Amino acid sequence: MAFSMRQKVLFKHCDPAGIVFYPRYFEMMNDCVEAFFDHIGHPFEELHTKAAVPTAQIETTFTAPSHHGDMLDIRLGCTRIGTSSLGIAWHGSADGETRFTASATLVHVGQNGRPLPWPAPLRNTLELHLEGAD
Amino acid sequence: MAFSMRQKVLFKHCDPAGIVFYPRYFEMMNDCVEAFFDHIGHPFEELHTKAAVPTAQIETTFTAPSHHGDMLDIRLGCTRIGTSSLGIAWHGSADGETRFTASATLVHVGQNGRPLPWPAPLRNTLELHLEGAD
Amino acid sequence: MAFSMRQKVLFKHCDPAGIVFYPRYFEMMNDCVEAFFDHIGHPFEELHTKAAVPTAQIETTFTAPSHHGDMLDIRLGCTRIGTSSLGIAWHGSADGETRFTASATLVHVGQNGRPLPWPAPLRNTLELHLEGAD
Amino acid sequence: MAFSMRQKVLFKHCDPAGIVFYPRYFEMMNDCVEAFFDHIGHPFEELHTKAAVPTAQIETTFTAPSHHGDMLDIRLGCTRIGTSSLGIAWHGSADGETRFTASATLVHVGQNGRPLPWPAPLRNTLELHLEGAD
């Protein structure tokens, strides 16, 4: 996975057990997708003026807990590109220990909520970042 | 799935596309687990004085978007009970349309973060609520 | 304050210190405003099809911490109505102890973000619920 | 205000009106406090092993809305230091336009929730960062 984002585990992410409350991980994964689209020159704020990219399916394994202050390295790879879909995989770690792995399918939809083919320039760019699932 | 919780889709749940931002669904699912443990007489606030119930794995399919004002019916069932684990399934719908399905494995852990067998009274109660996965 | 909403302090609301993380209180206050508008027959999901009600100013005092499992009673009153503004006050308590007090000014705005006079039917209803600040 | 943090307005921050949902601003302000304590060498994750820093009072004015993609510059200053309290002010802007101003009182408390004097090394450091309110 070629793209990565660092995210310190902040106070707001943690629950009474002192570890990341798992819905917060999904916010981080979403932030990571947004940072990736920034990185490839198609920022979410532009994409979302005429379309949206909801998540159709996601599966996650939380391998080890993360504590307040841990520095997470969240890696992201594109695993497949369909007409209007995109497969994403994430790998989150800290201090060399895997904390979570996840994979999802995003769908590019129009303002009516129906699938909409990726615009050609975006699709071409995404294809450059396609990696095998790992 | 015998237990259910109603949750109106509120302003705070929705994103710029006007639909539920998916990390918010995970908060709802977590709230539903908490309401279920309340319902069976083992409230989370008591359980969490000496232990925790982190989510080890979760997979979710978002079938159709939910909009601000929709009344969600979130059903929950226990699909399997291990020594210190619990399988949970959810089914979310509104107006008779499925919005999401999910399944997860929770793990009962002690304050050191290691798996801890379910206390017998809680285990016995959970077994009464065991259903086949559906 | 004539309107009230009960809100149990849930796991998701609490921080590593085991008490409500204060941004979560603002979500609760927002939920309370939304429940109030439901109650008076002008639900947010209808209001927000053509307008919005952003918060222009808010001040809050957190008097005592709230813990996981506490049952909060959140009271809300309308303290003043302007052409396109609304003064709101909240009082949050549990077990008879004040946990927070807050007051805010909301503004009714059009899709261009500019202040928009309250529609007459909504304004008339709000006036019925006007109370002195307390 | 000498300390500043940049925060892009992300998808997760925005509501159906396409602007920052105000409870999300409080998360940003909290993140900014946490980044400030990091910066001065007293990270929150160390401070919170034996104590906590809840917010006792906060007041905020939202001057102009922030949209998805805006780059916020959030400035923070310490306005006063008491035995166990700390006055904080924030100023948030984007493109040279003020978006919000806020001020708060934080309190250093022990594990019993009672005010606890700032440890001398932290207090000395905070005093170096004291500014007049502005």
CA distance C127 to chain A (A): 37
> Which residue in B has a C-alpha nearest to residue A109's C-alpha?
B17
Mean pLDDT of all residues in B50-77:
97
Touching B (3+ Cβ pairs <8 A), the chains are A, C, D
Yes or no, beta carbons of A44 and D11 under 8 Å apart? yes
User: Does A92 fall in a domain?
Assistant: yes
Nearest to A72 by CA among A102, A44, A108, A100: A100
- Displacement of CA D92 from its chain's centroid (Å): 11
Q: Of all residues in chain A, what percent carry a pLDDT higher than 90?
A: 90
pLDDT at C115 over 80: yes
pLDDT at B134 over 90: no
- Displacement of CA A95 from its chain's centroid (Å): 21
Interval D34-75: pLDDT, tens = 999 999 999 999 999 999 999 999 999 999 999 999 999 999
Tokens of D47: 């401070």
User: Does A133 fall in a domain?
Assistant: no
- Residues in chain A closer than 8 A to B59 (CB atoms): 57-60
Tokens of A36: 């990736």
How much is the ipTM here? 0.94
Measured distance between the N- and C-terminal CA atoms of chain B, rounded to whole angstroms: 8
What is the per-residue pLDDT for C132?
Answer: 65
CA distance C134 to chain A (A): 32
User: Does B31 fall in a domain?
Assistant: yes
- Residues in chain C closer than 8 A to B68 (CB atoms): 44-45, 48
Yes or no, beta carbons of A44 and D12 under 8 Å apart? no
Q: Which among A27, A34, A68 has CB closest to D45? A: A68
User: Does A91 fall in a domain?
Assistant: yes
Residues of C with CB under 8 A from a CB of D: 16-17, 19, 21-24, 26-27, 30, 48, 52, 54-62, 65, 113
Q: Tell me the CATH number at C76.
A: 3.10.129.10
Yes or no, beta carbons of A34 and D68 under 8 Å apart? no
Tokens of B6: 């109603």
pLDDT at D134 over 90: no
Yes or no, beta carbons of B14 and D18 under 8 Å apart? no
- Reduced to 3 states (helix: H, G, I; strand: E, B; else coil), residue A20 is strand
Write the CA distances from B134 to A58, B2, B10, B78, B90, integer angstroms. 19, 12, 28, 10, 9
User: Does B133 fall in a domain?
Assistant: no
CA distance A48 to chain D (A): 9
pLDDT at A20 over 90: yes
User: Does B134 fall in a domain?
Assistant: no
Q: C10 near A1, Cβ under 8 Å?
A: no
Q: Who wins on pLDDT, A61 or B132?
A: A61
**Cβ partners under 8 Å of residue B49, min gap 6:** none
User: Does D134 fall in a domain?
Assistant: no
Size of chain A in residues: 134
Q: A29 near A90, Cβ under 8 Å?
A: yes
Residue type, B111: Q
d(CA C20, CA C12): 9
Question: Per-residue confidence at B132, pLDDT binned at 50, 70, 90?
Answer: low
Interval A25-54: pLDDT, tens = 999 999 999 999 999 999 999 999 999 999
Interval C57-101: pLDDT, tens = 999 999 999 999 999 999 999 999 999 999 999 999 999 999 999
User: Does D10 fall in a domain?
Assistant: yes
- Residues in chain B closer than 8 A to C27 (CB atoms): 12
Touching A (3+ Cβ pairs <8 A), the chains are B, C, D
- Residues in chain A closer than 8 A to C21 (CB atoms): 11-12
Please give the tally of structural domains in chain D. Answer: 1
Mean pLDDT of all residues in A103-110:
97
Considering the entire predicted model, what is its pTM? 0.96
Interval D81-113: pLDDT, tens = 999 999 999 999 999 999 999 999 999 999 899
Yes or no, beta carbons of C16 and A18 under 8 Å apart? yes
Mean pLDDT of all residues in A83-107:
98
- Residues in chain D closer than 8 A to A11 (CB atoms): 30, 34, 44, 48
Write out the residue range of the structural domain in which residue A98 sits. 3-128
Q: Is the dihedral of CA D13, D19, D23, D28 positive or negative?
A: positive
d(CA A12, CA A15): 8
Yes or no, beta carbons of B56 and A61 under 8 Å apart? yes
Interval C7-39: pLDDT, tens = 999 999 999 988 999 999 999 999 999 999 999
> Which residue in B has a C-alpha nearest to residue A50's C-alpha?
B17
Residues of B with CB under 8 A from a CB of C: 9-12, 27, 30-31, 34, 43-46, 48, 67-69
Yes or no, beta carbons of B11 and C69 under 8 Å apart? no
d(CA C3, CA C129): 9
Q: Of all residues in chain B, what percent carry a pLDDT higher than 90?
A: 90
d(CA B8, CA B74): 10
> Which residue in D has a C-alpha nearest to residue B67's C-alpha?
D16
Yes or no, beta carbons of D10 and A34 under 8 Å apart? yes
> Which residue in B has a C-alpha nearest to residue C53's C-alpha?
B11
Yes or no, beta carbons of B22 and A59 under 8 Å apart? no
